[in-house]
Amino acid sequence: MIAAPVNMKVEHFDGDVLGIGTATPRLSWEYTQSLPDDAKAEVRVVRRKPRHGGCEERDVVPAADNILLPWRFKPLDSRELVEASVRVIAAEGVGEWSEPVRFDVGLLQPHQRVADFIGPSWPEFQTDHRHQPIIRTEFDLPRKPVLARLYLTALGLVEAELNGGKVGDDVLNPGWTSYDNRVECWTYDVLDQLQVGRNALGLWLADGWYRGRVGFDGGEANVWGDRIGAFAQLEVTYDDGTRQSWYSNSSDERWKIILGPIIRSNMYEGEYHDARLEHPGWSLPGFDDSDWSSVSEIPLDEHRIEFPVMEAIRPDGANSPDSIERIGSLDDGRGVWMVDMGQNCSQRLNIHFRGLEPGQSVTIEHAEVLDKNGDLVQRILHRGIQRDRYTSNGNDEWWEPKFVMHGFRYAKITGLPELAAEDLRCTVYHTAMERTGWFESSNAMVNKLHENTMWAMKSNFMSIPTDCPQRDERVGWTADIAVFAPTALYLYDVTGFLRNWMRDVAFEQKKTGTVPFYVPYVPMGIWSDPAAIALWGDAAVLVPWAAYMSSGDVQVLEESYDCASAWVNEVTGYLSSDGVWDRRPDYAIGQLGDWLDPQAPPEEPDLAMTAKELVATAFYVHSCDLMVRIAEVLGRKDDAIRFAGLAAHAREGFQERFIIDGEPDAAARMTSDTQCAYALAIMFDLGRDGRQTNDFGERLAELVRLADGRIGTGFAGTPFVLPALTRTGHLDEAYSLFLSTKCPSWMYQITMGATTTWERWDSMLPNGEVNPGGMTSFNHYALGSVNDWVHATVGGIAPLEPAWKRILVAPRPGGNIAHSSASHLTPYGRVAIDWSLDENDNDALLIHLTVPYGTTAVLDMPGVEDTEYSGGEYDITVPWIN
């Protein structure tokens, strides 16, 4: 009997989904057994248009086409509902149908987006501290519909309530995009919230990223516009196929607006809520809105509305306080409390406000760390002060801010008479994404580093990949994700998320002429003049490549190809005649080099030890090499040849300029005698020959020994230093560097009690003080990029081919690690490895290996011939001598 395939998926969504943005979605599924050679897959889609009947279509495809199978049927229409399933057909019989994946299609045609953006019809403050409005309407349902969808988006942020209840559990809808490019529209099934007769729809509206202050150095307000508006399109279908719709608009006088209880709301600075200004029952039918105003229309070209390729921001569990301490009292006796949530991350407190008089306010301030006196460290937040305020109406109420996010572990709550653990709920939020990667070992510190990396990732995958979630910055810095993408893609399926962001990278590149420092791009201070910077701009190549290797999604490469090749072409124009990317004097900023290496002075993170020209040229060569592979995947042979030529020229320039060949009596050295320089030269294959690479490995190992296990790399070198030591046979040094607890090192952070990965190696100094540098965050993921090595080398699994079709199994035990298990949900299914050193015979490694069906795992161990394993479970013993 052939088993039913499992995990049917549409595009990169995790299970069933509403409102996808394509008429020709791709389907994927997994097998749970190896299939007969003649096996085929029969795909069945049952499709239904709300106003018409359904139909079924089927097609038979090779069984091996189970990853992102292109749509084989008539393109879908907007609103069409689909149930897709698959079964295996072979000579020996026909298998069971898989569980279906269910999805429907968004409003693909601009003319179907009939609603208007509606917002305040009164003059507002020019920039900050704007009082936020609420909007309402009522409508009648003659009978119970069979289908109901609310299409919702905003210029700003929106949250909907239907008949008194919140619609969906998304927050910060519609998320952050380059709004001059596109704004995402999310689809909700609201059937169960509707009732026959009168209904009411309420919309909370706020500034959000669109009009609120974003970015650093005080940030910028009104970046994309100075008027906010909500777009709501409610459509119901009755059992006879008739449809009825309600559209937000300013003309039918049925949509009313008034100032709500949120008296100010700013992503970074916090939200102020005055409960005295609440309008009880405002989103229930029958509410008297006679004193509410008419709404104004905020014009927006409906072509700019887009249906998503990723998920929204949603809650993901909760943290409960480690401690709650009363640290002081106000004059009137109300308390000042310090709450330790135990975990630094992006989260929001929902607080029970009790015992307050009308008009009494409670202030909630959030920070990542405490100073020696036990007070919040707010200096490093700059203007992003993360301060919420709740003003009571005298009632016993729970309240959580709606339109902000806070990166914190500690909260100081001033003005609550009483506070107990039961008065707090703390919800964790990030863009919803499927967890796909796990790692554990016998070393508790390594496990903690891994866990911290995951928290840093969750905290910063907030609609876009941000650098940090707390200070007045939180922007989509390109280098941070360029180095972290491989780790991210192991931990979670973020292909859709990165694809979404890359769309804006491409847009901003067209607009600014280069890959700007961060995306969405907002001109700010010295960053107001976008200019090409190595590693940051190389994100245009590195991110899609990482996503492709993880998912096998060629569309990601196609969509980003123009952007990636334009980037390489642009930089080509800056190279000196010998192929080296010298620093251009007309740059405002020049290069950022091996940003934040531990030698760089706190206030000058770019003054790292490795020459910037070296770092820049190395990444240029690396990008050209990847472009050769990308062009080959896309069948662009001429481009591949051209990129290969560019790589060869720059490689030669690199060698001439940055390698000192000591032949015949001395070893080759780099002009920058640093961990970063050797790591890049080894990993990007920049040496002239194997001998030089070998010399680089020797010197790198020596530098690590001389540094007594202290790390010497910044953003550019960090992901590559351990792989470079491993590749050149210096596993002992790799482990000594990895497991070192000296400052600076990865484990140093763990000894200092970190619960996330830090921006600086020493964001907290050994004396317990916060690094004096103005730019100091405790929640950056870039240095967590080491986990790509952890998964591949400690754990022992890595993709050899896109989508993990071929898997490299090459654990290299070291340090004091005696056991490890790593697993990843590849597009084909779960790959897992569990190894331990044989307790009786330390020269043997016992491996339990799970290989997904449809893939081949290649076991690569020193001293043993490579062995291939197809789908299945294996117990393997190999000799291991270290």
Identity of the residue, 274 or 762, whose beta carbon is nearer to ligand BGC in the bound complex: 762
Identity of the residue, 356 or 600, whose beta carbon is nearer to ligand BGC in the bound complex: 600
Tokens of 182: 């596109």
Identity of the residue, 699 or 780, whose beta carbon is nearer to ligand BGC in the bound complex: 780
Q: Which residue has the tokens 């998920």?
A: 311
235 is annotated as an active-site residue = no
Instruction: Tell me which of 8, 190, 275, 479 binds ligand BGC, using CB under 6 A.
Output: 479
Residues 6+ apart with CB under 8 A from 662: 668, 669, 695
Q: Could you tell me which stretch among 73-81, 229-237, 434-442, 474-482 binds ligand BGC (CB under 6 A)?
A: 474-482
80 is annotated as an active-site residue = no
x/- binding map, residues 133-162, to ligand BGC, per CB under 6 A? Answer: ------------------------------
Which residues partner with 397 through β-bridges?
353
Instruction: Tell me which of 11, 368, 423, 467 binds ligand BGC, using CB under 6 A.
Output: 467
In angstroms, what is the minimal distance from the CB of 482 to ligand BGC?
Answer: 9
Q: Is 718 left (phi over 0), alpha (psi -120 to 50) or beta?
A: alpha
Identity of the residue, 478 or 623, whose beta carbon is nearer to ligand BGC in the bound complex: 478
- Three-class secondary structure of residue 424 per DSSP: strand
Tokens of 568: 């390489």
Judging by DSSP bridges, how do beta strands 797-799 and 829-837 pair with one another? unpaired
CB 859 within 8 A of CB 828: no
Pick the closest to residue 385 from 276, 268, 473 (CA basis).
268
- Three-class secondary structure of residue 207 per DSSP: coil
Pick the closest to residue 815 from 722, 685, 721 (CA basis).
722
Identity of the residue, 354 or 383, whose beta carbon is nearer to ligand BGC in the bound complex: 383
Largest CA distance in the chain: 92
In angstroms, what is the minimal distance from the CB of 609 to ligand BGC?
Answer: 17
Pick the closest to residue 44 from 14, 3, 75, 85 (CA basis).
85
Judging by DSSP bridges, how do beta strands 305-306 and 183-184 pair with one another? parallel
CB 820 within 8 A of CB 809: no
In angstroms, what is the minimal distance from the CB of 780 to ligand BGC?
Answer: 6
Instruction: Tell me which of 67, 84, 275, 468 binds ligand BGC, using CB under 6 A.
Output: 468
Cα(573)–Cα(589) distance, integer angstroms: 18
Identity of the residue, 484 or 684, whose beta carbon is nearer to ligand BGC in the bound complex: 484
Cβ burial of 635 (10 Å; 0-12, 13-18, 19+) is exposed
Instruction: Tell me which of 30, 271, 480, 733 binds ligand BGC, using CB under 6 A.
Output: 480
Instruction: Tell me which of 364, 549, 775, 831 binds ligand BGC, using CB under 6 A.
Output: 775
Cβ burial of 867 (10 Å; 0-12, 13-18, 19+) is middle
Q: SS3 helix, strand, coil % of the chain, rounded to 5? A: 25, 30, 45
In angstroms, what is the minimal distance from the CB of 309 to ligand BGC?
Answer: 25
In angstroms, what is the minimal distance from the CB of 605 to ligand BGC?
Answer: 7
Identity of the residue, 156 or 593, whose beta carbon is nearer to ligand BGC in the bound complex: 593
Q: Which residue has the tokens 């403050």?
A: 125
* 477 touches ligand BGC by CB under 6 A: yes
* 481 touches ligand BGC by CB under 6 A: no
Identity of the residue, 581 or 654, whose beta carbon is nearer to ligand BGC in the bound complex: 581
Identity of the residue, 342 or 590, whose beta carbon is nearer to ligand BGC in the bound complex: 590
Question: Considering only residues 20-39, where is the footprint of ligand BGC by CB under 6 A?
Answer: none
Question: How many residues at the interface with ligand BGC, by CB under 6 A?
Answer: 9
Identity of the residue, 54 or 774, whose beta carbon is nearer to ligand BGC in the bound complex: 774
In angstroms, what is the minimal distance from the CB of 488 to ligand BGC?
Answer: 15
* 473 touches ligand BGC by CB under 6 A: yes
In angstroms, what is the minimal distance from the CB of 517 to ligand BGC?
Answer: 6
Residue 523 phi, psi dihedral angles, 5° rounding: -65, 130
Q: Which residue has the tokens 């921006």?
A: 759
x/- binding map, residues 564-593, to ligand BGC, per CB under 6 A? Answer: ----------------------------x-
Q: Could you tell me which stretch among 67-75, 171-179, 477-485, 747-755 binds ligand BGC (CB under 6 A)?
A: 477-485
* 538 touches ligand BGC by CB under 6 A: no
Cα(370)–Cα(367) distance, integer angstroms: 8
x/- binding map, residues 488-507, to ligand BGC, per CB under 6 A? Answer: --------------------
Identity of the residue, 264 or 474, whose beta carbon is nearer to ligand BGC in the bound complex: 474
In angstroms, what is the minimal distance from the CB of 313 to ligand BGC?
Answer: 21
CB 546 within 8 A of CB 499: no
Cα(394)–Cα(372) distance, integer angstroms: 36
Catalytic residue among 30, 83, 508, 759: 759
Question: Considering only residues 397-456, where is the footprint of ligand BGC by CB under 6 A?
Answer: none
* 311 touches ligand BGC by CB under 6 A: no
Cα(108)–Cα(675) distance, integer angstroms: 51
Pick the closest to residue 406 from 348, 319, 336 (CA basis).
348
CB 60 within 8 A of CB 18: no
Catalytic residue among 271, 473, 508, 613: 473
Q: Could you tell me which stretch among 472-480, 624-632, 653-661, 784-792 binds ligand BGC (CB under 6 A)?
A: 472-480
Pick the closest to residue 296 from 332, 248, 355 (CA basis).
248
In angstroms, what is the minimal distance from the CB of 521 to ligand BGC?
Answer: 13
Residues 6+ apart with CB under 8 A from 316: 428, 429, 430, 432, 458
x/- binding map, residues 778-797, to ligand BGC, per CB under 6 A? Answer: --x-----------------
In angstroms, what is the minimal distance from the CB of 223 to ligand BGC?
Answer: 18
* 269 touches ligand BGC by CB under 6 A: no
Identity of the residue, 444 or 607, whose beta carbon is nearer to ligand BGC in the bound complex: 607
Residues 6+ apart with CB under 8 A from 271: 262, 264, 265, 388, 389, 401, 402, 403, 404
Q: Is the peptide bond before 523 cis (omega within 30 degrees of 0)?
A: no
Identity of the residue, 384 or 802, whose beta carbon is nearer to ligand BGC in the bound complex: 384
In angstroms, what is the minimal distance from the CB of 593 to ligand BGC?
Answer: 11
DSSP secondary structure of 157-188? EEEEEETTEESSS-BSBT----TTT-EE-EEE
In angstroms, what is the minimal distance from the CB of 775 to ligand BGC?
Answer: 5
In angstroms, what is the minimal distance from the CB of 201 to ligand BGC?
Answer: 40
Q: Could you tell me which stretch among 319-327, 467-475, 682-690, 854-862 binds ligand BGC (CB under 6 A)?
A: 467-475
Q: Is 857 left (phi over 0), alpha (psi -120 to 50) or beta?
A: beta
Q: How far is CA 244 from the centre of its chain?
A: 38
**Catalytically active residues, by annotation:** 473, 759
Binding site for ligand BGC (CB under 6 A): 467-468, 473, 477, 479-480, 592, 775, 780
